[in-house]
Structure 1
Amino acid sequence: MQTRTTNRQGTNIVLNCRVPVQRAQALLCDISLTGCRIELFDSHVNKGSTVFFEIDEKNEFAGQIVWVRGNEAGVRFMHRLSPAAMQVLELD
């Protein structure tokens, strides 16, 4: 079993996202600098899909779906979460 290299922080943030072009909303259940667990509303994703999270009109981040269980999914970010994204999400 693979161990996490960064700690996750619980959240209740709802974000708009695209998977890859289908629009959806997701609840960020927990997040770290390198990934997150999401719960999707009225949408479905497949393992290996790319998801783009829209924080605001200037900030977004992307990741790859690494597991799916029902309407929950694990996401590994393409790049570590930026300080700007952390600030907008109030995680700093």
Structure 2
Amino acid sequence: MDERNYDRFVVDKEIECFFGERRDFVLLYDLSVWGCMIEAPMSGIKGGASIHLKLNDFIEVYGRVVWEKDGCAGVSFGHALHEAAVKFLGFSPTTTAFEQMEPRDRFGRPLPALPRY
């Protein structure tokens, strides 16, 4: 049974994390108004630890690790994030159909069509 009271948004972004005297980079999997899930297999984060997450250059949040398993951890925030901030950081899939997407190079330029055999 899911005990969450707020929608979670997929983020999949590396963020800065501070706990104790340590600073580490962790993967932010998902985010809600009151918490998130991070992956930090080498950090040694334990349940009950106080944690400070720098979500981007201007959004930071403090919380506590409420569970930890297999290198992942659930964080409960001390104060709610604004819903607009959560949506801003969340993954937004494109609305363009895959068939209509034009292939591009790493600079964003359209690639030429391949010759037919």
When normalised by structure 2's length, the TM-score is 0.66
Is 2:11 aligned against 1:14?
no
Which of structure 1's runs of 4+ aligned residues deviate more than 2 A?
55-59, 82-91
Q: Which residue of structure 2 aligns with residue 31 of structure 1?
A: 31
User: How many aligned positions are there?
Assistant: 92
Instruction: Give the residue type in structure 2 aligned to 1:50.
Output: S
1:3 aligned partner: 3
TM-score normalised over the length of structure 1: 0.82
Instruction: Give SS of 1:43's match.
Output: coil
Identify if the C-alpha distance between structure 1 residues 71 and 89 changes in structure 2 by more than 3 Å, giving closer, same or farther: same
Gaps of 5+ in 2: 92-117
Query: Alpha carbons of 1:36 and 1:55: their partners in 2 closer, same or farther (altered >3 Å)?
Result: closer
Unaligned 5+ segments in structure 1 are: none
Structure 1 residue aligned with 2:73: 73
Identical columns (%): 31
The structure whose residues are more often strand, as a share, is: 1
